[in-house]
C-alpha cells in the first residue's frame, strides 16, 4: 500500500484556535517532537504575516530534522502584480524551507464577492505563484481553499483552479473543507470524481506535471476525522491535521485519531508501530506546551479512552480484554484503567489492587468489604473514579499498608480584607515527620494557595525534591445545593511532576478542610511514589561494592 503522508499544521492552523498560542522557542520544541515521532511535513507558520513566525523560521535554519520536511505557509500573489514583487512570496523563499504551501481561492463566491476579483485573474494568481516558487527550487503544496463548497456551487470553475495549479507545477493539490460543513460521502465521491477527471486529462497529455492529492478538513460538524479518512479511501495520500485537533472554531482534523486509524484500522502505512507507541506522550506534550488541560475522553490518547467502570465490564476484561476494548491501549502508548465507584464490583477492586501492588485480605479487608466501604464513601460525596491518588491511599489504609510520610498536627488560615486592598491569605501549618515537628507560615493568592505554600515550606526541610511537583487543576463542587452555604463540598485537585499526573479528593461541609484533605493526599502520593522509586533503585548491602560498604 502507498504511504500516507502526514502533514501537521499545529504550529500554524492549530494556533488559530481560541486560547492556543506558542512562542517561537516552543514551536521549535514541538517541531522536534513531531520530527522524532515521524511526521512527514511540519507547517511552521506564515512568515509574511507576523514577526513570531519569522523568528521561528530563523531558529529553524539551525535545526537538522531527521524525518520531517519543514513547510512555510502563505497565499498566492496579490491581484495585479508580478510574483517577484509580492512580499509574502518573497518571505516564503526567505524562510529557506525545502517545501512551501500556498492557498488559493476555489469558490467563485470568494473570488467575486469577498476579494472583489475576476475569475480569470484568480486563475492567473494561482498559476503564476506556483510557477514562481517552483522556479526557485521549492516543493510546492497547493491548498485549494473552500474546494468542496466551491465544487458544489460551481464545479466547472473549481476544477479550473486545480488545473491552474497543475499548470503552475504543483507537487500536491490539497482539497480543503475549510468551513467543515461537508459529509464523508460527499468528500469521498467528489475527491474520487475530481481525481479521475484530472488524471484522465493528464494521461492524454504526456507533458503534464504528475500531481499527488491531499485532504485538509475542519471539524465544524464533528466529521473532520471521518472526512479525512473518506478522502484517503478516494485516493488522497497526504492528510493534513493538528495534534489534539487544535484549530479555529471547532478545530482541525485530529491527527491523534487519524494516525492510529490509518495504521491499525485501515492498514495504511504512515508511521512505524514503534513511533505510534509514543502517540499519547506526544499528545500530552503539545497540550502541556499549549497550557491546555488534556481531554480525558479524547479517543486513543485520552485518560478515559480505555477506562472501565462497570463491574460486569471489568470482570470481562480481566478474562478477555478485547471483550470491551477495540484494541490494545499500549499500541498508542496508553494504558487500561479500572475505575472504582458506586457502580463497582469485586472485580474492579481486585484489578486495581493488582495494578497498584496492594495485597488484599490484610486487616480483614477483602474485595467485598472494600467495595462496601467505597460505596458508602461515594454516598457521602467522594468520587474515586476521578481521584486515583486518593484511591491508592484509601486502599493502603484499608489494608494496613499505608505509611504516612507526614501527619498534620494543626493548621490555621486567616483572610484579611480592608476597604482599600484586595484579600490577603496567610496559613500556618504544624506537621510531624517521624519524631520531628515543623511549624511554618506562608502567604498565598487565596486560602488554598497559602496552605499549599506553607505545607511545601515545611516539607521542603525533609523532602527537598518537591519543586518538581505543581498543581495543575483545582475544582470545587457543591454536592447538595439544598443546604445553601452549609452544603457539603467536594474539592478535586490534579497535580503533576515531570513523570506523571495524579488526582486527589476531599469532602467536607468546610471548603478549607476539604481542600486540605485533597492537598495532603496529593503530597502523600508524591512522596510515597518517590520512596518506591528509591527503594527499587537502592542496591542491597550484598550488592554494594566493597569500598561502599
Nearest to 74 by CA among 91, 51, 54, 61: 91
Contacts of 240 (CB under 8 A, 6+ apart): 7, 8, 9, 13, 174, 214, 215, 216, 217, 228, 252, 253
**Would 286 be classed as within a structural domain?**
no
- Please check whether residues 145 and 54 belong to one and the same domain: yes
Nearest to 85 by CA among 129, 45, 51, 127: 129
- Tell me the average pLDDT of the chain: 89
**Would 339 be classed as within a structural domain?**
yes
Q: Flag whether pLDDT at 177 surpasses 70.
A: yes
Q: pLDDT tens-digit profile of 45-61?
A: 999 788 899 999 999 99
**Residue 547 banded pLDDT, cuts 50, 70, 90:** very low
| DSSP run (H or E) holding 214 | strand 212-217
**Would 542 be classed as within a structural domain?**
no
- Please check whether residues 213 and 108 belong to one and the same domain: yes
- Specify the range with the lowest mean pLDDT, choosing from 330-334, 451-455, 541-545: 541-545
Does the pTM of the predicted model rise above 0.85?
A: no
Instruction: Say which residue, 321 or 516, is predicted with more confidence.
Output: 516
Task: Express as a percent the part of the chain with pLDDT over 90.
Answer: 63
Q: Which of 97-111, 287-301, 410-424 has the highest mean pLDDT?
A: 97-111
- Please check whether residues 381 and 416 belong to one and the same domain: no
User: What is the average pLDDT across 102-126?
Assistant: 95
Nearest to 247 by CA among 225, 275, 276: 225
Q: Residue 440's pLDDT is what?
A: 95
- Please check whether residues 227 and 313 belong to one and the same domain: no
**Would 544 be classed as within a structural domain?**
no
- Please check whether residues 110 and 222 belong to one and the same domain: yes
**Would 178 be classed as within a structural domain?**
yes
CA-to-CA distance for 257 and 296, rounded, in angstroms?
14
Of 339, 354, 386, which residue constitutes the final position of a domain?
A: 386
Q: Where are the beta strands (DSSP E) in 237-328?
A: 238-241, 307-308
User: What is the average pLDDT across 264-293?
Assistant: 91
Q: Residue 413's pLDDT is what?
A: 95
Could you say which DSSP state residue 67 is in? S
Q: Flag whether pLDDT at 548 surpasses 60.
A: no
CA-to-CA distance for 486 and 482, rounded, in angstroms?
9
- Please check whether residues 376 and 437 belong to one and the same domain: no
User: What is the average pLDDT across 126-132?
Assistant: 97
Q: Which residue's entry shows cell 502563505?
A: 74
Kindly list the strands in the beta sheet with 436-444, ordered across the sheet, starting from the edge strand earlier in the chain: 407-418, 421-433, 436-444
**Would 547 be classed as within a structural domain?**
no
Q: Flag whether pLDDT at 207 surpasses 90.
A: no
**Contact between 247 and 218 (Cβ < 8 Å):** yes
- Please check whether residues 354 and 415 belong to one and the same domain: no
Q: pLDDT tens-digit profile of 8-42?
A: 999 999 999 998 999 999 999 999 999 999 999 99
Q: Residue 541's pLDDT is what?
A: 47
Q: Residue 340's pLDDT is what?
A: 65
**Would 418 be classed as within a structural domain?**
yes
User: What is the average pLDDT across 292-309?
Assistant: 88
Q: pLDDT tens-digit profile of 464-512?
A: 878 888 888 888 888 765 556 667 888 989 888 877 888 899 999 999 9
Query: How many domains is the chain built from?
Result: 3
Instruction: Say which residue, 233 or 536, is predicted with more confidence.
Output: 233
Concatenating the DSSP letter of every residue in 137-198 gives T-EEEEEEETHHHHHHH-HHHHHHHHHHHHHTT-SEEEEEETT----HHHHHHHHHHHHHHH
Q: pLDDT tens-digit profile of 427-462?
A: 999 999 999 999 999 999 899 999 999 999 999 989
Q: pLDDT tens-digit profile of 64-96?
A: 999 999 999 999 999 999 999 999 999 999 999
- Please check whether residues 375 and 429 belong to one and the same domain: no
Domain that holds residue 333: 307-386
- Please check whether residues 183 and 229 belong to one and the same domain: yes
CATH at 31 = 3.20.20.70
Q: Residue 169's pLDDT is what?
A: 94
User: What is the average pLDDT across 348-352?
Assistant: 76
Q: Flag whether pLDDT at 343 surpasses 80.
A: no
| DSSP run (H or E) holding 31 | helix 24-37
Q: pLDDT tens-digit profile of 383-399?
A: 777 788 888 888 888 88
CA-to-CA distance for 242 and 27, rounded, in angstroms?
13
**Would 366 be classed as within a structural domain?**
yes
Amino acid at each position: 500500500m502507498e504511504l500516507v503522508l502526514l502533514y501537521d499544521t499545529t504550529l500554524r492552523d492549530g494556533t488559530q484556535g481560541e486560547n492556543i498560542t506558542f512562542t517561537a522557542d516552543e514551536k521549535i520544541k514541538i517541531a522536534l517532537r513531531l520530527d522524532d515521532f515521524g511526521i512527514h511535513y511540519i507547517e511552521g507558520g506564515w512568515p509574511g504575516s507576523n514577526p513570531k513566525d519569522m523568528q521561528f523560521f530563523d531558529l529553524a535554519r539551525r535545526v537538522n530534522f531527521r524525518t520531517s520536511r519543514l513547510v512555510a505557509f502563505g497565499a498566492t500573489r496579490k491581484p495585479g502584480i508580478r510574483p517577484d514583487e509580492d512580499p509574502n512570496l518573497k518571505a516564503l523563499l526567505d524562510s529557506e524551507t525545502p517545501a512551501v504551501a500556498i492557498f488559493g481561492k476555489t469558490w467563485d463566491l470568494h473570488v467575486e464577492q469577498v476579494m472583489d476579483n475576476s475569475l480569470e485573474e484568480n486563475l492567473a494568481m494561482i498559476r503564476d505563484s506556483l510557477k514562481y516558487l517552483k522556479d526557485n527550487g521549492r516543493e510546492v503544496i497547493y491548498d485549494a481553499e473552500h474546494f468542496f463548497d466551491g465544487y458544489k456551487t460551481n464545479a466547472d470553475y473549481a476544477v479550473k483552479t486545480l488545473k491552474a495549479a497543475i499548470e503552475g507545477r504543483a507537487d500536491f493539490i490539497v482539497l480543503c473543507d475549510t468551513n467543515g460543513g461537508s459529509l464523508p460521502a460527499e468528500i469521498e465521491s467528489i475527491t474520487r470524481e475530481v481525481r479521475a477527471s484530472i488524471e484522465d486529462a493528464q494521461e492524454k497529455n504526456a507533458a503534464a506535471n504528475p500531481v499527488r492529492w491531499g485532504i485538509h478538513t475542519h471539524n465544524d460538524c464533528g466529521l473532520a476525522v471521518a472526512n479525512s479518512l473518506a478522502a484517503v479511501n478516494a485516493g488522497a495520500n497526504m492528510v493534513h491535521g493538528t495534534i489534539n485537533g487544535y484549530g479555529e472554531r471547532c478545530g482541525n482534523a485530529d491527527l491523534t485519531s487519524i494516525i492510529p486509524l490509518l495504521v491499525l484500522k485501515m492498514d495504511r502505512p504512515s508511521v512505524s508501530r514503534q513511533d505510534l507507541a509514543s502517540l499519547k506522550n506526544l499528545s500530552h506534550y503539545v497540550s502541556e506546551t499549549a497550557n491546555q488541560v488534556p481531554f480525558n475522553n479524547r479517543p486513543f490518547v485520552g485518560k478515559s479512552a480505555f477506562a472501565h467502570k462497570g463491574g460486569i465490564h471489568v470482570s470481562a476484561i480481566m478474562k478477555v480484554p478485547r471483550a470491551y476494548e477495540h484494541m490494545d491501549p499500549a499500541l498508542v502508548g496508553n494504558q487500561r484503567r479500572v475505575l472504582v465507584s458506586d457502580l463497582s464490583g469485586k472485580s474492579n477492586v481486585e484489578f486495581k489492587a493488582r495494578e497498584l501492588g496492594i495485597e488484599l485480605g490484610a486487616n480483614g479487608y477483602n474485595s467485598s468489604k472494600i467495595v462496601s466501604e467505597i460505596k458508602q464513601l461515594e454516598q457521602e460525596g467522594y468520587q474515586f473514579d476521578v481521584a486515583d491518588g486518593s484511591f491508592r491511599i484509601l486502599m493502603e489504609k484499608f489494608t494496613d499498608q499505608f505509611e504516612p510520610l507526614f501527619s498534620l498536627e494543626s493548621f490555621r488560615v486567616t483572610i484579611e480584607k480592608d476597604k482599600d486592598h484586595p484579600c490577603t491569605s496567610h496559613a500556618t501549618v504544624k506537621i510531624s515527620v517521624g519524631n520531628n515537628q515543623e511549624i511554618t507560615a506562608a502567604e498565598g493568592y487565596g486560602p488554598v494557595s497559602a496552605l499549599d505554600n506553607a505545607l511545601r515550606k515545611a516539607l521542603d526541610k525533609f523532602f527537598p525534591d518537591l519543586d518538581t511537583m505543581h498543581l495543575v487543576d483545582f475544582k470545587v463542587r457543591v454536592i447538595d445545593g439544598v443546604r445553601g452555604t452549609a452544603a457539603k463540598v467536594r474539592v478535586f485537585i490534579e497535580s503533576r511532576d515531570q513523570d506523571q499526573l495524579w488526582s486527589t479528593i476531599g469532602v467536607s461541609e468546610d471548603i478549607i478542610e476539604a481542600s486540605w484533605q485533597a492537598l495532603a493526599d496529593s503530597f502523600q502520593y508524591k512522596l510515597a511514589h518517590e520512596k518506591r522509586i528509591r527503594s527499587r533503585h537502592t542496591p542491597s548491602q550484598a550488592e554494594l561494592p566493597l569500598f561502599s560498604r
